[in-house]
Amino acid sequence: MSERTLGAYIHVPFCSSRCGYCDFNTYTASELQRDGTTVSAATYAERVIAEIAWTRAQMPDDARQIHSVFVGGGTPTLLSAEALVSIIKALDTEFGIAPEAEITTEANPDSVDREYLATLRDGGFTRISFGHQSSSTHVLQLLERTHTPGKTWQAIAWAREVGFEHVSVDLIYGTPGESEEDLISTLQDVAKADVDHVSAYSLIVEPGTRLAARVARGEIASPSDDVAAGRYEIIDEHLTAMGMTWYEVSNWSLPGGECKHNIGYWRNQDWLGIGPGAHAHLQGTRSWNVKHPAAWASKVDGGESPAADYEVLDAEDIAREDIMLRLRLREGLPLAGLTEDALGEAQVAATEGLLEPEALAQGLAVLTFKGRLLADGLVARLWA
Ligand SMILES: C[S@@+](CC[C@H](N)C(=O)[O-])C[C@H]1O[C@@H](n2cnc3c(N)ncnc32)[C@H](O)[C@@H]1O
Ligand code: SF4
- The pLDDT tens digits for 57-74 are 999 999 999 999 999 999
φ and ψ at residue 369, rounded to 5 degrees: -60, -45
pLDDT surpassing 70 at residue 1 = no
Query: What strands, in cross-sheet order, belong to the sheet with 6-12?
Result: 245-248, 251-253, 197-202, 166-173, 127-133, 97-107, 66-73, 6-12, 270-274, 279-282, 285-289, 307-312
Report the distance separating Cα 153 and Cα 51, nearest Å: 35
Residue 246 confidence (pLDDT): 98
pLDDT surpassing 60 at residue 2 = no
| β-strands 66-73, 285-289 pairing | unpaired
Tell me which of 24, 31, 130, 140 to substitute to probe ligand 2's pocket, judged by most ligand atoms within 8 Å of the beta carbon: 24
- When pLDDT is cut at 50, 70 and 90, the band that residue 14 belongs to is very high
pLDDT surpassing 90 at residue 150 = no
Helix and strand tally (H, E) in the chain? 16, 14
Residue 384 confidence (pLDDT): 79
The response to whether residue 78 sits with its C-beta less than 6 Å from ligand 2 reads no
By CB atoms closer than 10 A (0-12, 13-18, 19+), residue 151 is: middle
Report the distance separating Cα 28 and Cα 40, nearest Å: 10
Residue 3 confidence (pLDDT): 79
Question: Is the separation of the CB atoms in 194 and 156 below 8 Å?
Answer: yes
pLDDT tens digits along 23-38: 999 999 989 888 878 8
Q: Between 190 and 32, name the one with better pLDDT.
A: 190
DSSP 22: -
Q: Between 333 and 3, name the one with better pLDDT.
A: 333
Question: Is the separation of the CB atoms in 131 and 155 below 8 Å?
Answer: no
pLDDT tens digits along 219-263: 999 999 999 999 999 999 999 999 999 999 999 999 999 999 999
Atom of ligand 2 nearest to the CA of 74: 3
Share of the chain above pLDDT 70, in %: 99
The response to whether residue 198 sits with its C-beta less than 6 Å from ligand 1 reads no
Residue 147 confidence (pLDDT): 77
Handedness of CA 234, 322, 74, 216 (dihedral sign): positive
Question: Is the separation of the CB atoms in 350 and 360 below 8 Å?
Answer: yes
Residue 192 confidence (pLDDT): 97
Residues 6+ apart with CB under 8 A from 375: 249, 327, 328, 367
Report the distance separating Cα 333 and Cα 344, nearest Å: 15
State the chain's mean pLDDT as an integer.
95
Share of the chain above pLDDT 90, in %: 91
Tell me which of 19, 147, 199 to substitute to probe ligand 2's pocket, judged by most ligand atoms within 8 Å of the beta carbon: 19
Report the distance separating Cα 352 and Cα 376, nearest Å: 15
Q: How far is the CA of 22 from the centre of ligand 2 (A)?
A: 6
- Helix boundaries (H) for 162-291: 180-192, 210-216, 225-241, 260-266
pLDDT surpassing 60 at residue 96 = yes
Question: Is the separation of the CB atoms in 147 and 193 below 8 Å?
Answer: no
* Mean pLDDT value of segment 316-341: 93
The response to whether residue 201 sits with its C-beta less than 6 Å from ligand 1 reads yes
Report the distance separating Cα 240 and Cα 254, nearest Å: 9
Report the distance separating Cα 360 and Cα 351, nearest Å: 11
Residue 146 confidence (pLDDT): 82
